[in-house]
Structure 1
């Protein structure tokens, strides 16, 4: 028979986390409604970050190149995250680690060549 009492601290921690996170989300909204600070008017709804209204609908569709650049950034950021620990431990792991990383870098180079060919790196 499994003793489930060993999971009690985890359940308590999870319960406290849910209660606190809910309080941090819903308590400020409730206080705002009760104190009367939630009374939208034209001045409160005006543009405040840039000072002028938006040129177009903010829900408009982005150019696909924006997504390609974002994906390329993530891919090469992950490449750097994988290469550093590999470089630190490559001599203790051996040739299999070196060959595996060369395959990985080759795949990334093929992806970069494909993106370059498709014009993802050309920004107008």
Structure 2
């Protein structure tokens, strides 16, 4: 039974070795000459007027995390919507709990001020 997984193991090992070689060879063999032009960000041929290495406000990260959270919510809702006619009332109970949990999380984020842009 374990012999059946041998091709998969070989594939994973060869892939990992190839990835390490592909990432490591340029770092070992290639020259590393840094100058002012290479360290500047490329702006479609336009000379940058400010430093591109600055911190983003935390509000952008909060919005991104909330987007991912509700995107995952939609992923969980698709299978439920597909089988809704077959399950009838039986499917309504768990999805109601799921919705209540999501609404509680949204209200919590709202109360904490994560949705305020100021």
TMscore range, shorter length: 0.7 to 0.9
1:18 equivalent in structure 2: 16
- CA RMSD after TM alignment: 2.5
CA, structure 1 residues 4+89, in 2 after alignment: closer, same or farther (shift >3 Å)?
closer
| Distance change in 2, residues 1:31/1:7 (3 Å) | same
5 Å-filtered alignment, 1:1-124, equals 4-33=2-31, 38-49=32-43, 51-54=48-51, 58=54, 60=55, 62-63=57-58, 65-124=59-118
Show structure 2 runs of 5+ residues with no match: none
Q: What TM-score does the superposition give when structure 1 sets the normalisation length? A: 0.73
- Between the aligned partners of 1:18 and 1:96, the Cα distance in structure 2 is 46
Matches of 2:86 and 2:4 in 1, distance apart?
39
Q: What TM-score results when the alignment is normalised by the length of structure 2?
A: 0.76
